[in-house]
Amino acid sequence: MPRLDRLPQINRNNLLMLPVQVNESAPRTPLPRPLAGCRLAIVTTAGLHRRADRPFGPGEQTFRVIPAETPAAEIVQSHTSLGFDRVPIMRDLNISFPIDRLRELAARGELGGVAPHHYSFVGAQRDLKRIEQETGPEVGRRLREEGVEAALVTPT
Amino acid sequence: MLARTLENAGIATTSISMVREHTEKTKPPRALFVPFPFGYALGRPNDSDLQHRVLRAALDLLAEPTGPVLRDFPEEAGPADEPAAPTQASGIAPGGAVADDPALETTQMRRYHEQWVAGGDGRTAFGLCGIPATRFRGVVRFLQAVAAGEEADMEERPAELPLPSFIRYCADDWKALYWEGRMAMKPTAGGDEIARWFWGETAAGQVLRRVRDRLDASDDPRWKAAAFGVAR
């Protein structure tokens, strides 16, 4: 834990006490072709959404859709935990939602394309059942319908 | 867990991990552990070269022939250039010369906040409670009443939004106004510096400490959870 030792005690305790799922293996969907031919979406747990959308409430396991063309000024974060520094995302949305960087990769031909919609959940959850059984698979289905092969999962 | 769910649905995923110990247990299909402080997932704000290196390292994992794979981002941010995690309110003693007029202080901070919005690309973290900055004095009075232990509410609160959540959004907007205003006032200010200023030197910080205490004194877990998000 290279960084936990530099956190205020109260934040460190909060993290260490967070019960996390323990798995022995991982599912695997290989990329069907090189990334230069694939469409990629951002799926973030940073609690981002469009300004007009309802903010995330505590423990909420639903998601918000962020159309790719949404201007940065229209994206806000309702995950406002004191467990992380909010200054970097106030300065630059790309710190958790690297939409400009993905567009640059696509323009350079290193990425096949940026997905038409990105998806956002809110992190730091204790009960994840609904995301696991309902809202997560729903986002997976939507991504496939939108011709997306890969997702970058980002935290706040 | 989210990455595993998407992978099961037929999407190849790669994740950025901030807590290696958690990721070792949850085992997402592909993850890049980054040695950055919370809030800095892609490295540093407005450092597109570093962000591209992080992104490239995460995307390269998609070509790995087996999984799960958890790789460390090879660049270690040195202690000197790693921003400190912001100190929490409980670790900051209020200074001796704190003004006691939060409404006036807020009005003054608003001018700097307007500079912040005008100076950037129009982005602001302000806007969760639904009440515009120009009418924020009403929110300040409301939070002062909550801090004083009065039974306070606002007619602008949506009926379906629980009161403790509304209090939290009001507190979040108040902080956003001060945090971003402070960055307009002092463009080099980092998160820890702003936290020390807010909790140590502003009237708003002292009101929010008391709001926290009031929420925390409740037996209702939803009120207590809101307290932990206002100040800790």
**B48 and B11 in a common domain:** yes
Mean pLDDT of A135-139: 97
DSSP codes joined into one string, A21-70: ---SS------SS-GGG-EEEEEE-B-EEETTSPPPPTT----EEEETT-
* B85–A150 CB contact, under 8 Å: no
Mean pLDDT of B119-128: 92
**Which amino acid is located at A46 in the chain?**
A
Q: Tell me whether residue A24 is in a domain.
A: no
Q: Tell me whether residue A29 is in a domain.
A: no
Question: What Å distances lie between residue A10 and A15, A92, A143, B153, B197, CA to CA?
Answer: 9, 27, 38, 30, 20
* B128–A87 CB contact, under 8 Å: no
For the segment B147-156, what is each residue's pLDDT rounded down to a tens digit? 999 999 999 9
pLDDT score, position B77: 61
Number of domains in chain B: 2
Which of A1, A3, A31 best probes binding to B when mutated, by most B CB atoms within 10 angstroms?
A3
Say what angle helices B163-185 and B136-147 make with each other, to 10 degrees: 120
Range of the domain at B117: 89-230
Number of domains in chain A: 1
**B198 and B121 in a common domain:** yes
* B169–A55 CB contact, under 8 Å: yes
Q: What is the pTM of this model?
A: 0.93
Chain B residues touching A22 at Cβ < 8 A: 25-26
Q: Tell me whether residue B78 is in a domain.
A: no
Confidence tier at A53 by pLDDT (50, 70, 90): very high
Confidence tier at B138 by pLDDT (50, 70, 90): very high
Both tokens assigned to A102: 């993905």
Q: Tell me whether residue A92 is in a domain.
A: yes
| A143 → chain B, closest CA residue | B11
Query: A15-29, A57-71, B189-203 — which is least confidently predicted?
Result: A15-29
Mean pLDDT of A22-27: 94
**B217 and B110 in a common domain:** yes
**B196 and B140 in a common domain:** yes
Contacting A residues, span 35-94, partner chain B, CB-CB under 8 Å: 35, 38, 40, 43, 45, 51, 55, 57-58, 71-73, 75-78, 80-94
Range of the domain at A45: 8-17+39-154
Contacting A residues, span 102-131, partner chain B, CB-CB under 8 Å: 102, 104-105, 111, 121, 128, 131
* B35–A2 CB contact, under 8 Å: yes
ipTM of the complex: 0.94
Beta strands in B1-141 (DSSP E): 12-17, 30-33, 69-72
pLDDT, mean over chain B: 93
CA distance A69 to chain B (A): 15
Task: Pick the more confident residue, A20 or B169.
Answer: B169
Query: A3-12, A13-22, A70-79, B206-215 — which is least confidently predicted?
Result: A3-12
For the segment A84-127, what is each residue's pLDDT rounded down to a tens digit? 899 999 999 999 999 999 999 999 999 999 999 999 999 877 78
CA distance B13 to chain A (A): 5
Confidence tier at A1 by pLDDT (50, 70, 90): very low
CA dihedral B147, B151, B154, B158 (to 10 degrees): 110
Q: Tell me whether residue A2 is in a domain.
A: no
Confidence tier at B81 by pLDDT (50, 70, 90): low
For the segment B85-107, what is each residue's pLDDT rounded down to a tens digit? 899 998 998 887 787 899 999 99
Of A35, A81, A121, the CB nearest to B62: A35
